[in-house]
Amino acid sequence: MNLYNQRSSNIRRTWALVIGFLLVVIAAGYAISWYYGNPGILYIAILIAVMTNFYAYWASDKLVLSLNHARPASREEFFDFYTVTENLAIAAGLPKPKLYVIDDPAPNAFATGRDETHAVVCATTGLLSMMTRSELEGVVGHELSHIKNRDILLMTVAVVLAGFVAIVADIFLSMSFWGGGRGNDNKQGNALFMIVAVVGIILAPVAAKLIQLAVSRRREYLADASGALLTRYPEGLASALGKIGSYTAPMQSANLATAHLFIGDPFGAKREGSSNWIEKMFSTHPPIQQRIQALLEK
């Protein structure tokens, strides 16, 4: 798949994610409205779904930055970060993204935003302090590739929508425990509704995680390759990944909602090296050593 096909695929996947989210929330709203015999609940569900999608498109990047306690990066304080990003953005044919930093010793970075003209590249102070210039170029090239490949909208929207799926399921289960619906006159119907609610609350977090996995692992390999082509020095990114992968402590602001956005697992190398097959299966990132090997293959 070439770059243009990948960009088109990301747009289609974003629309599929948005439409799928709408259908899930509306279906849940319909079930609850049927159970309580109140059509108004369905209308509220539709309104919530539309508003959440609207927020996910226009403001999810601000939510991501807030969740990770990011602050704007000044040119005076982070001169290398600024100049490297400016030079690589020109080479990639992109507007220079806004730059943010997270005050955290763990080396990591991510890109977010809805399009090329509203993009953000964010790095931790730990990454900026320990990377050489060529390594920093590799990391920034990787993040600019996410922007160029139009990964950022899909990956950022997933933060809001995947999290909201779990919230809807929780509300669904809570309301079923309150009772008061048609199930009170039909014990069999009430039991069935409870089973559906319990299954929903169990599967919703899994579905949310699968959404994040679907938009993360393969795109990391693609962004690695695209970033290496942009800098024409894959060794720089490979060396940077080595430093990121060897840092064992998690980020101070690490959270499951935004983990898939980062260039490295924000929970640290300990989780990536875990022998627990469940943790490996639900990891948002491919193994660092495999990414390094792919970059250094001639």
| Maximum C-alpha span of the chain | 70
- Please give the full DSSP string across 70-128, using - where no structure is assigned: EEEPPTTTSHHHHHHHHHHHHHHT-PPPEEEEE--SS--EEEEESSGGGEEEEEEHHHH
Q: Quick one: which of 89, 57, 3, 63 has its CA closest to 261?
A: 63
When pLDDT is averaged across residues 218-245 and rounded to a whole number, the result is 92
124-163: pLDDT as tens digits? 999 999 999 999 999 999 999 999 988 888 777 777 776 6
* pLDDT one-digit tens code per residue, 182-224: 555 555 556 666 666 556 656 655 665 666 565 566 788 889 9
Q: Are 83 and 52 in contact (CB under 8 A)?
A: no
State the pLDDT at residue 70. Answer: 97
> CB neighbours (10 Å) of residue 96?
15
Q: What is the pLDDT of residue 174?
A: 65
Which tens digits make up the pLDDT trace of 27-75? 777 777 776 777 887 888 788 878 887 888 888 899 899 999 999 999 9
143 belongs to the catalytic site: yes
Beta-carbon contacts of residue 55 (< 8 Å; ≥ 6 apart): 160
Predicted local distance difference test score (pLDDT) of residue 1: 47
Please calculate the CA angle 108-152-163 and round it to the nearest 5 degrees.
85
Per-residue pLDDT at 120: 97
What are the tokens at 209?
A: 């995680």
φ, ψ of residue 181 in degrees (nearest 5): -105, -165
The answer to whether residue 6 scores a pLDDT higher than 70 is no
Is 284 exposed, middle or buried (CB count within 10 Å of its CB: 0-12, 13-18, 19+)? Answer: buried
**Considering 77, 86, 137, 143, which one is annotated as catalytic?**
143
Average pLDDT over residues 159-187: 61
In sequence order, what are the residues at sequence separation of 6 or more whose Cβ sits closer than 8 angstroms to the Cβ of residue 103?
69, 71, 124, 125
140 near 119, Cβ under 8 Å? no
The pLDDT value recorded for residue 245 is: 93
pLDDT score recorded for residue 227: 93
The 10s digit of each residue's pLDDT in 93-133 is 999 999 999 999 999 999 999 899 999 999 999 999 999 99
Positive/negative CA dihedral, 263, 266, 271, 277: negative
Q: pLDDT value at position 142?
A: 96
pTM listed for this prediction = 0.79
| Contact (CB, 8 A) for 140 and 230 | no
In three-state secondary structure terms, 109 is strand
Mean pLDDT in residue range 220-249: 93
Say whether pLDDT at 239 is over 70: yes
Query: What's residue 168's pLDDT?
Result: 63
